[in-house]
Amino acid sequence: MDWTKFDAALFDLDGVLVKTTQLHATCWKRMFDCFLSSDAARRRVAFHAFAIQTDYPRHVNGKPPYDGVRDFLASRGIGVPEGEPADPPDRESICGLGNRKRALFLQALEANGVEVYEGALALLRHLRGDGLKTAVVSSSRNCEAILRAAGIADRFDLRIEGELAGRLGLSGKPAPDTFLEAAKQLDVEPARAVVIEDAIAGVQAGRAGHFGLVIGVDRRVSPAELYAAGADVVVDDLAETIRMDDVRPRPPK
């Protein structure tokens, strides 16, 4: 791949740079299953657990945490108060449940640490060596903690994460706002920037922002779904973008 055609690379965090997707999914399941069990008992209906294989990619992955809570509960026809970002984790509100998941994740992060994808490290070294600007664009409010735990906080010129997006009034993925803000702050035209994502919502955001290239990373979502969401190419490993002969081209229509 000729990276000299571009001036910047905008990376998602979880599932693209670091191996936290399963950890996030497990914490979402713990939080939702606890809530769903109590809700089912209260309403005297059957309990249906949160399904990592289907509910996580469809309703939660890649979205701001409160949006994920809201979208998943809506898919089950369950309504709870919106609440406030300061809600404690034991409060059954959109914000309270999101905060409960975050508390579970931070506990797991401290206990288990985080691993970086070797292909992502190889690509970062390549891009920094070529003088491209790099940014992390993540819906996570744990972005800084994860980057520091992974030892890669110094590999990026910019970080756009959940709390900053909230302060700036930016809509979360699949809206392109956070990626466009990153390009703006890096002083790079979207057409000269590459978006790198593993989630459907993130790929959709890259396509909606009319970025020069959208790379889908095949982690939990199938290549067909990533292409349908707007990916230009799909890779198993980001090191493949340094040797593009391994990249699977978009299938013919």
Active site residues: 12, 14
Using only C-alpha atoms, the chain has a radius of gyration, in whole angstroms, of 18
> CB under 8 Å to 141, separation ≥6 — which residues?
65, 102, 161, 162, 163
> CB under 8 Å to 30, separation ≥6 — which residues?
104
CA distance 73 to 187: 39
DSSP assignment of 23-62 equals HHHHHHHHHHHHHHHHHHHHHT-------TTTHIIIIITT
> CB under 8 Å to 79, separation ≥6 — which residues?
73
Check: CB of residue 132 under 8 Å from CB of residue 7. Answer: yes
CA distance 111 to 27: 13
Check: CB of residue 33 under 8 Å from CB of residue 45. Answer: no
